[in-house]
A and B are shown apart, each in its own frame.
Chain A
Amino acid sequence: MPDRMLEEPWTLSPSVALRPEPFGALAYHFGNRKLTFLKRPELVEVVRLLEHHPRLGSALDAAGIPPEQHDAYAAALRALAETDMIRPRHQEAV
């Protein structure tokens, strides 16, 4: 079964800044001061696109991530959510 997260709206946390790096990006959270490295340019693109899409799945499509990799990306994004790098967009919940 596909990851439920793929159907949800997500966004980069407002406290997070992304710094481009040759391998991807460095994400810094000004609130909890956590530093995380996004090791793939594709993942950086997905994270940047999140807020413009109604669901995570369509952000992955827009970033050109093949459907068979969506679950793997959902797992990576879930890890980012644990430190509040990304968060659910509750205001759009129906």
Chain B
Amino acid sequence: MTIAPERPSTPQARPEGGSLVEQFEFGLDAPICLTWELTYACNLECAHCLSSSGRRDPRELSTEQCKAVIDELQRMQIFYVNIGGGEPTIRPDFWELVEYAVDHQVGVKFSTNGFRITPERAAFLASTDYVDVQISLDGATAEVNDRVRGAGSYDTALKALANLRDAGFSDAKISVVCTRENIGQLDDFKAIADEYGATLRLTRLRPSGRGADVWDELHPLPEQQRELYDWLMAHGDNVLTGDSFFHLAAYGESLPGLNLCGAGRVVCLIDPIGDVYACPFAIHDQFLAGNLLGEGGFQEVWQSSPLFTELRSPQTGGACTKCQHFDACRGGCMAAKFFTGLPLDGPDPECVQGYGETALAGDRLVPQASKDHSRSQASRNAPVLLNLGATRRRPVSACNEDPLAGGDLS
């Protein structure tokens, strides 16, 4: 396996002492941030969905298998898990699994578009400890949000936030993927969060999943990155970022957080069929470490898979290590580079020193999506960008007998 940027030829020993970041580069016995996508099924079809969700995978883990995973997380002392999808609340056993996790000392934060957060569910959530709710909102206005998330999704999200507030649920999270179209709305997002007693969470748009189709159109422009950085420097203490923007650290001062690519070192992703990937933004065969249904379970994949072992050492080579800002940005996001066809030991496509633009202008081969659960046909409420902007062919059903199925007719 040669996914990782250049590493020392003889395995380096973990240093004694030193900073936490230096320790984290060598990995942990269990992840500190584990994302678990419970299903690929989704009622929405967001244009930038990083897991290309839409249809349920028939091999999805059963309720019993999910509970066995939770048992293992408890044994490994993984104290909380970020549950997502797809839309996780679509699973009929979703609430059962949430309760099971909480009863087994695995706290839950789940991401939802809000369509199942009824007043009754909000009251249940307000009555539990260890359950955190994160509502996705990608525009501070319906116009901006619905263009990427689909008609009606803004109203759904705000209704969910209102239900949570009215039920007495405190400190819900509003999760915003920062795009070219909403960077100018940061103050408005903050105002919405304040209105609903919620905390704002800003994350980076990755060219992962369907995000690859719209990234060119939606990723923040260089001056917007600066605007975002300045805004985060001013408001960072009260805004969560999931350590998303460490590539911006090369502007000067680091943002709060680890400022490190944690893929396979301190974070990973479990997908709906039990496949374990290096990070939530890297659902691709190249970053697949194994499946937790194997004999050694999740623990063996996490602790011994060849891919994760390879990722657990500091990068020593590549163009970026010669840059004076390397210590600040650590070369940026591996997934962002991979899905834009850039070398993993080179600059991040959104490198704030401008090296990314140069790299993007050169020869590159954008990898084919290897996993896609998008619906074969966009629905009535599909986001505008999905109908107009997307150029990638929809997946072809195995049952499609049309001889031209999947053919390029243009």
On A, residues with C-beta under 8 Å from B are 17, 19-23, 26, 28, 30, 33, 35, 37, 39-40
Contacts and interface: CB of A to CB of B under 8 A. Distances in A.
Interface string B99-112: 00000010100000
B281 interface: no
A32 to B, nearest CB: 11
Contacts of B29: 19-22
29 contacts: A17-B77, A17-B79, A17-B105, A19-B30, A19-B77, A19-B79, A20-B29, A21-B28, A22-B14, A22-B23, A22-B26, A22-B28, A23-B23, A26-B32, A26-B77, A28-B77, A28-B79, A30-B79, A30-B105, A30-B107, A33-B80, A33-B107, A33-B130, A35-B32, A35-B79, A39-B17, A39-B20, A39-B23, A40-B17
A22 B13 CA distance: 12
Given A26-B77, A30-B107, 4 more contacts: A21-B28, A30-B79, A30-B105, A35-B32
Please report whether the interface of chain B is mostly helix, strand, loop or mixed according to DSSP. Answer: loop
Interface string B277-302: 00000000000000000000000000
A12 to B, nearest CB: 15
Contacts of B77: 17, 19, 26, 28
Interface string B29-66: 11010000000000000000000000000000000000
Contacts of B30: 19
A21 B79 CA distance: 14
Contacts of A28: 77, 79
B383 to A, nearest CB: 34
Contacts of A30: 79, 105, 107, 130
Closest 7 CB pairs of A and B: A19-B77, A28-B79, A23-B23, A21-B28, A21-B29, A37-B20, A22-B14
Nearest to A29: B79
Interface in B202-259: none
Nearest to A37: B20
Contacts of B32: 26, 35
Nearest to A41: B16
Contacts of B105: 17, 30
Contacts of B26: 22
A72 to B, nearest CB: 14
Nearest to B132: A33
Contacts of B107: 30, 33
A29 to B, nearest CB: 9
A30 B14 CA distance: 29
B130 to A, nearest CB: 7
Contacts of A39: 17, 20, 23
A65 B20 CA distance: 22
B10 to A, nearest CB: 19
Nearest to A26: B32
B126 to A, nearest CB: 17
A22 B22 CA distance: 12
A47 B112 CA distance: 39
